[in-house]
Structure 1
Amino acid sequence: MMIRLFTWSLFFLVSTSGAMLAQETAWVRGTITDSLDQAIELANVSILGRQEGTMTGADGTFQIRVPSGRSFTLVVSCVGFRTEQFNVRLQAGETEERRIILKHDIRSLQEVSVSARQERASTFRRINIEELNYMPTTTGKVEAIIKSQAGVSSSNELSSQYSVRGGNFDENLVYVNDIEIYRPFLVRSGEQEGLSFINSDLVSSVKFSAGGYDARYGDKMSSALDITYKKPVQFAGSGSLSLLGASAHVEGSSRTQRFTYLAGYRYKTTSYLLNTLQTKGDYKPQFSDFQALLSYRFTRKLEISFLGNYSSNKYRFIPSETDVEFGTKDLPLNLKIYYEGQEVDRFDTYLGSLSLQYRPLQSVSLKFTGSAFRTSEQETFDILGQYWINELDNTIQSETYGDSILNVGVGTMLSHARNYLDAIVVTTSHLGSYQTDHNRLQWGFTFKYQDFYDRIREWELLDSSGYVLPDLENRIEMLEFRQSEQRIAYGHFSGFIQNTLEINSPKADFFITTGLRGTRWDYNRTLMVSPRITLSVQPFWERDMMFHLSAGYYFQPPFYKEMRRPDGSINEDIRPQRSIHLLVGGDYIFSMWDRPFKLSAEAYHKWLDDLIPYKIENVRLSYAGENISSGFARGIDFKLNGEFVHGAESWMTLSLLQTREDVEGDFAYTFDGKDYVRTEAGEFPRPTDQLFTFGLYFQDYFPNNPDYKVHLNAFYGTGLPLSSPHAEQYFTKLRMKPYRRVDIGFSKVIKRETDQYGDRNPLRVFKSIWISGEIFNLLGIRNVASYLWIRTISDQQGIPGRFAVPNYLTGRRFNVKLSVQF
């Protein structure tokens, strides 16, 4: 897998003619990137009509001496990209900074650089970050684009969590600048979830793999997201303000380019959205974070950088009432709950990382990193709810149509929690690489120390019509009760080596990536060895196609959540979960309507063993804490992206998935013709078994006026399996309703980067300005996040004593946002 290297520039001074030397000169310097903000190496920079020129270094930087006092044309070209020309006029001794973006030439894609070819041959896909500023979303911008990828699904617009090919969010790897990222552990609902770590204003590149990734990435079983932050070359910044919060960032470098800085602040509040939920009350969420990336280049071979982050997520909620209708057409019901009490949560996270990169040779890179992550979390609530369940009159011509005609149940529920968690993860790592024209060798070592201190005390009491559940004659017992105090600490050592080899033949180019990953988990002294391989071939056909086959062994040592049983105790004999990935796929790059398009497809099968089964309640995963399950996941993903409208990239995805598991001890009742008989449950759908998903992101603009744009984001996913959190087993035949959502955004460019204003116009200080209007949940669809399980003693009219009341997600909302870049 290609690792983006932070390097320093090599400047080549080109001898000039006698006429050039006889006059005073000026300088042009800067950075050349592609449309994904990736540095372009070996791009040619020259003066039109002259032989003088230079080439960019590995980080895309260049510097060229130019004539002063007159106009000339600067020509920038590179194989696989469209040539660009710029008119320049400088005074003697003047230096101009330029940031140049080259667009891919669809007719020259077979001639792109070695690194780009090897990246295309891998299971990773680079995502166009140009769309980050425009996609309508209620969560993080990067996560919103990840959710729109093939094989990825999410059924909660309040959460940045996502599921990949049948796995849960805890099975996904997230890296920022080669640092593994963690998130708070106690979050149980999308309402509590604040800002994700990734600040889109700071992002330079996004790479994502939905499976079959290389030995460099581990140890998780589902996906890998690799984020690289910017390396500034000049001062710039941005800001945005909306009804959901605000953000700002600045970046820049010193005159000598030795010191660079990148910093961003974000504030988010979802009160505006949460007020559309069925549970009314006083929502007071406040989420903020600050990140900074500082780097200093001592020499052309040595550089040091620091990445720091502080995040504060506060959530306070004072519920007042819930009024929701549910049931069926034949049996319509209504639930009313009146509340007392409140919930107060706080999740504070800290991250600090120091990296030293040394490049003794142009082809060798050595990186050493030390990082520390700390989280301090508290979840506290005391909420009393008095509820009434009534049957509604469903006779259309009745005078009481829609009114309550029968009380089905009445009762009181009391929920209490005092949950606290403090955790520290300290990591030291080394990454190295050696690059030649047709070969790339990578290696790395990582040691992690993890320390968790967890205090749990939560219970639920249910009093239905004077009867306490469970019904015990001489004492009151809680319906649900958990209390524990645990402190665990352990080490985790891993290492890998992998090699990517390119073989050129007269009929095709072949890419072979082989790797071996080893992990030692000290908690129960487990040694894991993971071989992985990816084979790719690009035949020399008229059509630009590439095919790949990937296989690998993946282990996932339990993190703290997986180790904890439902009662709060720790399983000291727990084992890592295991998965074998096998996938085959390919892509086809073509031109249609004289515009670039790409069609990708990938089929996969994953064998799963030593699984730790879990239940999903909203966004909280409650694990069994035991390796008592095995299963599989298989499916196929398609993605078509390109310029359906000239100059605006859009895409659509389609995924088919089946994932099953067999949990020891789970049972089902089957009818044998006379009676219901208890039998083993066998294989049944896992909680993430979403059979069919379809996603669409479409952009358009007004004819002859591209300053007015529209951005449509739509998703459909079939219903997920549904099980009661109070049930002792994981088997279920029930499913939730399909998740359907359409968000749309309209944007108007107020100032383009190329617009020129007079000295007195205040807009001249901004590079670009645009305003957006967004409509979330355009169709007003009532999607379900989870279910509230209500129990009653009475069983009137044959109605069961347990009701699954849907907990609906957010309704339609309008948002306005102002964004500037300078």
Structure 2
Amino acid sequence: MNNNRVIFVFLFLCISCISFAQNAHVKGVILDNQKRPVVDVNISSLGNITQSDSNGFFEIDVPANKKTSLIFTHISLKMMSLTVSLKPNEIFVFNPVMSNSEEQMGEVFVSSRNKKRVQGITTIDAATIKKIPGANAGIENILKTLPGVNSNNELSTQYAVRGGNYDENLVYVNEVEVYRPFLIRSGQQEGLSFTNTDLVQNVDFSAGGFQAKFGDKLSSVLDITYRKPTQFGASLEASLLGGSMSVDAVSKNKKWSAVTGVRYRNNSLLVNSQDTETNYTPTFADIQTNINYDISKKWQISFLGNISENKYLYQPLTRETKFGTIDQPMALAVYYEGQERDKYDTYFGALKTTYKVSPTLTLKLIGSLFHTTEQEHFDILAQYRLGNVGEEQDASQVDFTRGIGSQLSHARNDLDALIANAEIKGFKEWLNDSQLEFGLKYTRESIRDRVAEWEMIDSAGFSINPPIVILPKNNEPYQPYTGPLLPYQDVRATNYNTINRFSGYAQYNKKSEIGSNQVWYNIGARFQSWNVLGAAVDGKNQIVFSPRAQFAIKPDWDKDMVFRLSGGLYYQPPFYRELRDLEGVVNPNVKAQQSVQVVLGNDYNFKMWNRPFKWVTEIYYKSLSDVNVYSIDNVRIRYVANNNAKAYAQGLDFRLNGEFVPGTESWISFGYLKTEENYADKGYIARPTDQRLKFAMLFQDYMPNIPSVKLYLNLVYNTGLPGGAPAYSDPYLYQNRLNDYRRVDIGFAKVFVDSSTKVAKANWLKNFKELSVGLEIFNLFNNQNAITNTWVRDVYSKNQYAIPNYMTSRVFNIKLNARL
């Protein structure tokens, strides 16, 4: 923990705090009717006055979170006014054209979401993220309520988007790509997401057809910005699942600012609600900091750091699961010996410097380092009894025993990964409402990995042979078995690999008009070159080129509509996990998976009940080639590590969001998806992420007579995923699906203080900006949702029984939130 102390000491040396107003920024270039820059335009707002320079450029601070008017005046041009409403530290680019014939006096309401709207980006309010209940609350909890985003595991922060898997999603924090541990196989091992919601300012999400400036993944982009504090503040959250604390700090000269958060989580409350009785002592904790230093108005430096230590000790004792039908109820009773000891330590640091070369040119240099050391060690013996049971009996009291057996699982898996990145990015603005963005990046990934795991299974005293090895026929007990005794599964490999990557992008954005219709263009391309070096064999150098484009049009209609068309050729060069096959051996020549994507969307803003609403529709199609086939067990993905398949994904997403209740944002989502793959020309079958139907609702409300009592609802319904088949089975022979996933989480909060509360000076509550106490009920209707099946064999009847592995049942949680 010496690194923790260094960060704490460095942070508190920078904390000499004063309070001042939160601001946003408006900047741009002022033109005349001939598109020439205008010098000496006076721009005023609430007593703050500035002038445009010789290039027509201006920049002015305005108060955040309120409607503010800016007045533009010039000695030879007519006055114009602009009304903005921006978030803290938000930068809005406005390039007005001033006229010499008429004043532009009408109110122009500006929001940065307009830009995100034409890009097909969903913006999620940071306050909503904090309020909505969930077993694993946070940004990912909210994403699972969006159309096209699916997850059947409330203990996990992983999610699948439009037919992709967990490894196909990009996550950025402050423009820095972040990573997750490699060896996680169960949602209850994850503990904490990288993203600390206490530090978040902006959250943008794109489910497909995204721009070239975002990296080389196939499915989605989650782009998160941590806030740059403008005044001292602190927050605290405590619940039965853990707690968090954050501090905002600003120096007296306003050059230094820092936001730091500490988190702790314990999933015992959730895990103890499952069928398996355990001794469970996890420790999930981390510390994050985002430090900013303004060297000058043109030059800023920031540091993002994270230290995470996750220790997972799991000792199962017994399991009792009822299943079957009403006519033939059955039960499985399991008795365990042994334990699992896992540890995941990650260290992450990123340094970013931003320099404004000129009013229209900005350059950024970003360097980051990610280091993870992981161990997965377990020895667990499970002895089971399977049989018929009466409706009123517990699982350990069976009327007739159908099968008995045991399973011994062993693993000694260790991994050490070091990933270094160096990147330069640029942003150039032109006078005709156009911009050029470009970047170049080098990545070095050093992986040291040892895989050693096996599993022995017997049924009624007879060892079960591995399903993927051809052995002599076993006619026991009538004839002696002469074949070898082999473990049911046996994976052993040692890999030392280094991957070097060079990537870059360039894209051009332009806003224009076609007649009286507004249009936006974005054209860009990415490239990546990489090679895999190893102790045994080196891979060949590979390169891919990814052109992408977006087009949006806002017709000159009475109805406020925007139509979007986006897509391109997307590649996903293999990361380490995709290089490792089912035997744990690295194939250095795995090719990048390729996807041709087309997304057609429509946004319709309207008013209902005199309140704002938005209806979003998107249709998408993906044609995939060089597909690397995989299987999913809980959250563990195992690849075949070849490119011998093709696939497709197609679907339709709807989302209605707005103020169903005045002053609060809620939404309803619906999605349809079909994704199939064709491996080795055997024909098309459902992919592991073939989530056909999805319905979700996020709803916020308050009691009319007691407005300080709030209600938050999180509802998700997903049809069943493929994945109910035995491990190592041929997916062309077994296409079973799990049952539908249904879950409702609800939260109630008594708000003592918030931004709308007036507190007397003598009241002790005046010290708080926010204070609330809440009750959360997870899985309100106690639905039994299964993540996988356990397959139990009966050697006498030759039958295999699928016993569902249920997720968490109904759980109550109490939560306290406070902010100074």
Deviation digits for residues 185-239 of structure 1 (CA, Å, limit 9, x no counterpart): 1111111111010011111101100000000112100001100110111111211
Q: Distance in 1 between matches of 2:317 and 2:570?
A: 47
In the alignment, which residue of structure 2 is the partner of 1:603? 619
User: 1:582 is matched with which residue: 575, 595, 598?
Assistant: 598
**Aligned-residue offset at 1:802:** 1.9
Question: Is contact 1:615-1:725 (8 Å) kept?
Answer: no
User: 2:127 is matched with which residue: 120, 126, 130?
Assistant: 130
The amino acid across from 1:581 in the alignment is: Q
Identity across the alignment (%): 39
Equivalences for residues 682-721 of structure 1 within 5 A: 682-721=683-722
Answering whether residue 643 of structure 2 is matched by residue 627 of structure 1, we say yes
The amino acid across from 1:452 in the alignment is: I
**Aligned-residue offset at 1:331:** 3.5
Q: Distance in 1 between matches of 2:51 and 2:387?
A: 76
**Aligned-residue offset at 1:475:** 4.4
Change beyond 3 A, Cα 1:416–1:54: same
Answering whether residue 489 of structure 2 is matched by residue 480 of structure 1, we say yes
In the alignment, which residue of structure 1 is the partner of 2:449? 454
**Aligned-residue offset at 1:46:** 4.3
Equivalences for residues 491-530 of structure 1 within 5 A: 491-523=500-532, 524-530=540-546
Answering whether residue 311 of structure 2 is matched by residue 314 of structure 1, we say yes
Answering whether residue 411 of structure 2 is matched by residue 409 of structure 1, we say no
Change beyond 3 A, Cα 1:273–1:60: farther
Change beyond 3 A, Cα 1:83–1:543: same
User: 2:815 is matched with which residue: 814, 817, 820?
Assistant: 817
Change beyond 3 A, Cα 1:41–1:275: farther
The amino acid across from 2:624 in the alignment is: L
Secondary structure of the residue that 1:522 maps to in structure 2? strand
Question: Is contact 2:331-2:395 (8 Å) kept?
Answer: no
**Aligned-residue offset at 1:765:** 2.1
In the alignment, which residue of structure 2 is the partner of 1:76? 68
Secondary structure of the residue that 2:795 maps to in structure 1? coil
Answering whether residue 745 of structure 2 is matched by residue 747 of structure 1, we say no
Deviation digits for residues 391-410 of structure 1 (CA, Å, limit 9, x no counterpart): 2357x9xx999963321110
The amino acid across from 2:387 in the alignment is: N
Question: Is contact 1:30-1:61 (8 Å) kept?
Answer: no
Q: Distance in 2 between matches of 1:762 and 1:696?
A: 37
Q: Distance in 1 between matches of 2:60 and 2:249?
A: 16
The amino acid across from 1:744 in the alignment is: I
The amino acid across from 2:427 in the alignment is: S
Change beyond 3 A, Cα 1:115–1:561: same
Question: Is contact 1:456-1:485 (8 Å) kept?
Answer: yes
In the alignment, which residue of structure 2 is the partner of 1:12? none
In the alignment, which residue of structure 1 is the partner of 2:795? 793
Q: Distance in 1 between matches of 2:795 and 2:59?
A: 70
Deviating above 4 A after TM superposition, structure 1's stretches of 4 or more consecutive aligned residues are 39-47, 51-60, 78-84, 98-103, 108-116, 399-403, 754-761
Q: Distance in 2 between matches of 1:641 and 1:464?
A: 54
Aligned length: 740
Change beyond 3 A, Cα 1:450–1:429: same
The amino acid across from 1:621 in the alignment is: I
The amino acid across from 1:737 in the alignment is: N
In the alignment, which residue of structure 2 is the partner of 1:30? 21
Q: Distance in 1 between matches of 2:430 and 2:91?
A: 25
Question: Is contact 2:408-2:456 (8 Å) kept?
Answer: yes
**Aligned-residue offset at 1:558:** 1.0
In the alignment, which residue of structure 1 is the partner of 2:438? 443
Equivalences for residues 754-793 of structure 1 within 5 A: 755=757, 761-793=763-795
Q: Distance in 1 between matches of 2:327 and 2:425?
A: 63
Secondary structure of the residue that 1:30 maps to in structure 2? coil
User: 1:661 is matched with which residue: 677, 681, 696?
Assistant: 677
Change beyond 3 A, Cα 1:575–1:718: same
Provide the TM-score with structure 2 as the length reference.
0.86
Secondary structure of the residue that 2:190 maps to in structure 1? coil
Deviation digits for residues 336-373 of structure 1 (CA, Å, limit 9, x no counterpart): 01011111111111101111110022221100011000
Deviation digits for residues 257-290 of structure 1 (CA, Å, limit 9, x no counterpart): 1111111001011101110010111111211110
Equivalences for residues 799-810 of structure 1 within 5 A: 800-810=798-808
Change beyond 3 A, Cα 1:746–1:557: same
**Aligned-residue offset at 1:169:** 1.0
Deviation digits for residues 683-736 of structure 1 (CA, Å, limit 9, x no counterpart): 011001011000001111111432111011101000001254532533332110
User: 2:418 is matched with which residue: 406, 424, 447?
Assistant: 424
Question: Is contact 1:242-1:815 (8 Å) kept?
Answer: yes
The amino acid across from 2:625 in the alignment is: D
The amino acid across from 1:715 in the alignment is: V
**Aligned-residue offset at 1:625:** 1.4
Secondary structure of the residue that 1:706 maps to in structure 2? coil
User: 2:584 is matched with which residue: 568, 585, 597?
Assistant: 568
In the alignment, which residue of structure 2 is the partner of 1:248? 245
Change beyond 3 A, Cα 1:615–1:400: closer
In the alignment, which residue of structure 2 is the partner of 1:673? none
Q: Distance in 1 between matches of 2:489 and 2:238?
A: 43
Higher mean Cα deviation, 733-742 or 358-367? 358-367
Q: Distance in 1 between matches of 2:106 and 2:318?
A: 60
In the alignment, which residue of structure 2 is the partner of 1:386? 383
Q: Distance in 2 between matches of 1:307 and 1:619?
A: 28
Equivalences for residues 152-163 of structure 1 within 5 A: 152-163=149-160
Question: Is contact 1:723-1:730 (8 Å) kept?
Answer: no
Change beyond 3 A, Cα 1:506–1:704: farther
Deviation digits for residues 507-563 of structure 1 (CA, Å, limit 9, x no counterpart): 201111000111101223111000000010001110100001012111111111111
In the alignment, which residue of structure 1 is the partner of 2:214? 217
Question: Is contact 1:32-1:100 (8 Å) kept?
Answer: yes
Secondary structure of the residue that 1:191 maps to in structure 2? helix
Change beyond 3 A, Cα 1:112–1:173: farther
**Aligned-residue offset at 1:473:** 3.3
Secondary structure of the residue that 1:705 maps to in structure 2? coil
In the alignment, which residue of structure 2 is the partner of 1:204? 201
Q: Distance in 1 between matches of 2:425 and 2:381?
A: 53
Secondary structure of the residue that 1:721 maps to in structure 2? coil
User: 1:553 is matched with which residue: 569, 574, 578?
Assistant: 569
The amino acid across from 1:771 in the alignment is: V
Answering whether residue 174 of structure 2 is matched by residue 177 of structure 1, we say yes
Provide the TM-score with structure 1 as the length reference.
0.85
Answering whether residue 738 of structure 2 is matched by residue 736 of structure 1, we say yes
Q: Distance in 1 between matches of 2:213 and 2:518?
A: 23
Higher mean Cα deviation, 751-760 or 802-811? 751-760
Q: Distance in 1 between matches of 2:528 and 2:131?
A: 41
In the alignment, which residue of structure 1 is the partner of 2:118? 121
Equivalences for residues 7-406 of structure 1 within 5 A: 30-33=21-24, 46-47=45-46, 53=49, 61-62=61-62, 76-77=68-69, 111=108, 116-393=113-390, 404-406=398-400
User: 2:557 is matched with which residue: 524, 536, 541?
Assistant: 541
In the alignment, which residue of structure 2 is the partner of 1:618? 634
Q: Distance in 1 between matches of 2:642 and 2:719?
A: 29
Change beyond 3 A, Cα 1:542–1:393: same
Secondary structure of the residue that 2:134 maps to in structure 1? coil
Q: Distance in 2 between matches of 1:116 and 1:193?
A: 33
Q: Distance in 2 between matches of 1:714 and 1:390?
A: 36
Q: Distance in 2 between matches of 1:121 and 1:109?
A: 24
In the alignment, which residue of structure 2 is the partner of 1:67? none
Question: Is contact 2:289-2:305 (8 Å) kept?
Answer: yes
**Aligned-residue offset at 1:783:** 0.3
Secondary structure of the residue that 1:552 maps to in structure 2? strand
Change beyond 3 A, Cα 1:61–1:246: farther
Change beyond 3 A, Cα 1:766–1:99: farther
Answering whether residue 474 of structure 2 is matched by residue 465 of structure 1, we say no
Question: Is contact 1:617-1:725 (8 Å) kept?
Answer: no
